[in-house]
A and B are shown apart, each in its own frame.
Chain A
């Protein structure tokens, strides 16, 4: 592995966080599993813990080894390695597809202007795939300014909205039974789809990966809590009936003569979303080249772009978020628990 294709552990945390932020900002009442947003705060804290637990099997299987899951599979047999690459390949395509539909939904419902949403989607996918050809290090470096910009904007929005927040808007915490909060914490997990890439990303990272992932899990909860607190404090119960509460809350923020902060939140969201798309595109292209040879890099990028456009335009009006959530849980279970344990078992059997 060349030096240029590696990133440091803090870079990985920032990359994953920048990608996850796009999901944090896309807070929707539908994703609360019937829970009030105030209880969602508790669920968010709990989901950070669950996230870390989900990562543990991968960490345990890869302990003391510089290789990732794909390398470990290739060492078992070429067929196993290729099968795993194709699994990741399809997985990335699935997640990208859902992300693009989410983007389409957001742009269509919220963004004002007379531009073509389809054209914007097509261009975004093309740019993300083009960026993926530059490798993981380029992406890691790009993520830092994007993440810094996003965090600064979140802080500015929070401060600007302090005057709009009322204590009376917050219902009491733990209003629901604990089981409902656990259920909501579990339903929050699919939003951290970056976790499925840890097994692939592992060998590209220098430094303490364990702490990097721990920081990602903790900070993810923190950012989600900040977004929920802002939306709830400003909107009250209205947060439960508006499509994108954080966006609705930020659109009323103003600092001096600066108004219409919704433009800024759209910019933050687009930039973090670009990082998310590029991360999955990079994994997609990398898996294609490992399964089908280095020449597959470029054609897989073209194929991926075409496939995404096709899928997205075909199913954008026929999606079912319930089915998507179930599919995400299955994918997370297989990628974070099933696959690492299977590879560990195969390794053990081969060693005997």
Chain B
């Protein structure tokens, strides 16, 4: 068997027999921005040049990344133009961020914009996806210090933002799920102010088409309804609560010709700050205010934007399949649905007695 093992090893190592690209002949892409420019695709590529880096990132005297721009009739052509202009091949295996301009989303279906990245096996399905309000290039060129990669900074900002129920996160896989009809895609919107990226709501898509935008507060409400955030700060009448252990449950009930959706949210609440002039904390009042806020956000999402990021229609089809309710039929009936929200907050002592 020794000989067989050697042969297997040889087979596995065959990939290394062919010449690979020279390190200096390629740029390691860490972020890509796509936007429309006079009917063509304008690509902004944030890249680390392998030969520019000596030693560790912390010893750099200048930013480790640079942003290049290229244009083409398609993303692939724009990347080709990038190659022609710089003489370097774009290595996208390490790509961490994919930013699409908001105008591009309004004018072009997302599947068309991102088709190149979905087909390319090198591109990671878990790459963070954002919609950028305004131009995309400044988002990839933000100032984060010489020892950091801007795309990585944005990626971490989004992950932490989702943990704190401040923003949604989206990957290429979410767009693929949306295109297959599973769930509507919710993609965070960022905008750059004074070279700093800031959360600017959520863009909702169905079948790759932009349905509309949610504000930051509506995004938080959506995350609470989905039970996806880990923790959330909520201020009511001068008192700031931290909600933890957030759980949600969605019930679907028949209501006349349509359906009623009962969203039940439970969380543990801790008082983290209280203004001196504020009244005595009332958890019941805070819960009611939160119920109204979440209810308004969900109703607007469903009725005004005709979006279904929580998969309400899919749940309906699953519950009432025997009655011949399909996902499409439930989706059509969704704008007329009644949405009621119940929030149950349980007080947790944080040891501060005053």
Q: Which residues of B contact A116 (CB under 8 A)?
A: 14, 18
Give the residues in chain A near B233, CB-CB below 8 Å: none
B72 within 8 A of A: no
Q: Is the CB of A123 within 8 A of B14?
A: yes
Q: How far is the CA of A112 from the CA of B17 in the complex (A)?
A: 15
Contact A123 B11 (CB under 8 A): yes
- Cβ-defined contact, A260 with B4, below 8 A: no
Distance in angstroms between the alpha carbons of A120 and B122 in the assembled complex? 20
The chain B residue sitting closest to A115, CB to CB, is B15
Residue among A124, A134, A252, A267 making CB contact with B126, cutoff 8 Å: A252
Residues of chain B contacted by A254 (CB below 8 angstroms) = 126
Chain A neighbourhood of B20, CB < 8 A: 114
Q: Across the interface, do A168 and B177 meet the contact criterion of CB distance under 8 Å?
A: no
Q: A142–B1 contact, CB under 8 A? A: yes
Q: CB-nearest residue of chain B relative to A234?
A: B173
Q: Is B124 an interface residue (CB 8 A)?
A: yes
User: B7, A112: Cβ atoms under 8 Å?
Assistant: no
Q: Which of B3, B18, B181, B311 is in CB contact (< 8 Å) with A168?
A: B311
B276 at interface, CB cutoff 8 A: no
Residues of A within 8 A of B93 (CB): 112
Residues of chain A contacted by B133 (CB below 8 angstroms): none
Instruction: Judge if B255 is at the interface, Cβ distance under 8 Å.
Output: no
Is B125 part of the contact surface with A, judged by Cβ < 8 Å? yes
B177 contacts A236, C-beta separation under 8 Å: yes
A131, B177: Cβ atoms closer than 8 Å: no
A186 close to chain B: CB less than 8 A:
no
With A168-B314, A259-B126 given, is the CB distance from A134 to B4 under 8 Å?
yes
Provide the bound-state CA to CA distance between A214 and B40, in Å.
Answer: 61
Contacts of A251 in B (CB 8 A): 124-125
Report B152 CB to chain A, min CB distance, Å.
Answer: 13
A13-28 residues at the B interface, CB under 8 angstroms? none
Q: Is B177's CB under 8 angstroms from A127's CB?
A: no
Write the chain A residue with the least CB distance to B318.
A172
The answer to whether B18 touches A238 (Cβ under 8 A) is no
Measured between C-beta atoms, what is the minimum distance from B329 to chain A in Å? 15
Instruction: Say yes or no for A228: interface residue by CB 8 A criterion.
Output: no
CB distance from B29 to the nearest CB of A (A): 15
A78 CB within 8 Å of chain B: no
Q: Does B12 count as interface, using CB distance less than 8 angstroms?
A: yes
Q: Is the interface of B mostly helix, strand, loop or mixed?
A: helix
Bound Cα distance A141, B18 (Å): 33
Determine the residue in chain B with the shortest Cβ distance to A126.
Answer: B7
| Nearest CB in chain A to that of B171: its residue | A252
Within 8 Å by CB of B183, from A123, A236, A267, A270, lies A236
**B10 CB–A CB distance under 8 Å:** yes
Q: Give the contacting residue for B125; candidates A115, A168, A248, A270; CB below 8 A.
A: A248
Give residues of chain B (156-186) contacting chain A, Cβ–Cβ below 8 Å.
Answer: 171, 173, 176-177, 179-183
The CA of A330 and the CA of B10, in the complex, are separated in Å by 37
A130 x B318 contact (CB < 8 A): no
Contact A120 B180 (CB under 8 A): no
Contact between chains at A235 and B8 (CB < 8 Å): no
- The reply to whether the CB of A155 lies closer than 8 angstroms to some CB of chain B is no
Against A, the Cβ 8 Å flags (1 = close, 0 = not) of B5-40 are 001101110110110100000000000000000000
Complex CA gap A324/B266 in Å reads 54
- Are A260 and B124 touching (Cβ within 8 A)? yes
Take A172-B318, A237-B180, A240-B180 as given contacts and tell me if A115 and B17 are in contact as well, using a CB distance cutoff of 8 Å: yes
Please indicate the chain B residues that have their CB under 8 angstroms from the CB of A274 in the complex.
Answer: 8
User: Is A138's beta carbon under 8 Å from chain B?
Assistant: yes
Q: Complex Cα distance A212/B183, Å? A: 43
Tell me if A218 is interfacial: C-beta within 8 Å of chain B.
no
A254 CA to B8 CA in the complex, in Å?
A: 27
A175/B321 contact (C-beta < 8 A), A110-B121, A238-B177, A248-B125 known: yes
Find chain B residues with CB under 8 A from A169 CB. 177, 182
Given contacts A134-B1, A236-B182, A238-B176, contact A115 B124 (CB under 8 A): no
Residues of chain A within 8 A (CB-CB) of B126 are 252, 254, 259
- Among the interface residues A112, A114, A127, A130, which one has the most CB atoms of the partner chain B within 10 A? A127
Interchain CB contact (< 8 A) of B15 among A113, A172, A241: A113
A270 CA to B1 CA in the complex, in Å? Answer: 18
Cα of A142 to Cα of B5 in the assembled complex, Å: 10
| Nearest CB of chain A from residue B289's CB, rounded to whole Å | 28
A112/B10 contact (C-beta < 8 A), A130-B3, A238-B180 known: no
Query: For A124, A168, A248, which residue has the most chain B Cβ atoms within 10 angstroms?
Result: A168
Judged by a CB distance under 8 angstroms, whether B315 is at the interface is: yes
Q: Mark A217-246, 1 if CB is under 8 A from B, else 0.
A: 000000000000000001111101110000
Chain A hits for B321, CB < 8 A: 172, 175
Identify which of B11, B124, B182 contacts A237 (C-beta below 8 A). B182
Q: How far is the CA of A130 from the CA of B183 in the complex (A)?
A: 50
Q: Separation in Å of the B159 CB from the closest CB of chain A?
A: 12
How far apart sit A210 and B222, CA to CA, in the bound complex (Å)? 55
At the interface, yes or no: A4 with Cβ under 8 Å from chain B?
no
Task: Give, as a whole number of angstroms, the nearest-CB distance from B242 to chain A.
Answer: 23
Known interface pairs A119-B14, A123-B11, A168-B311; A112-B3 also in contact (CB < 8 Å): no
Contact with A along B109-128 (1 / 0, CB 8 A): 00000000000011011100
Pairs A-B, 8 closest by C-beta atoms: A236-B182, A238-B180, A237-B180, A168-B311, A115-B15, A237-B182, A127-B7, A123-B11
Identify 5 new A-B residue pairs, CB closer than 8 A, beyond the known A138-B1, A237-B182, A251-B124. Answer: A166-B311, A235-B177, A235-B182, A237-B181, A238-B180
A-B contact pairs, 6 of them (CB 8 A): A127-B11, A130-B4, A237-B182, A252-B125, A259-B124, A274-B8
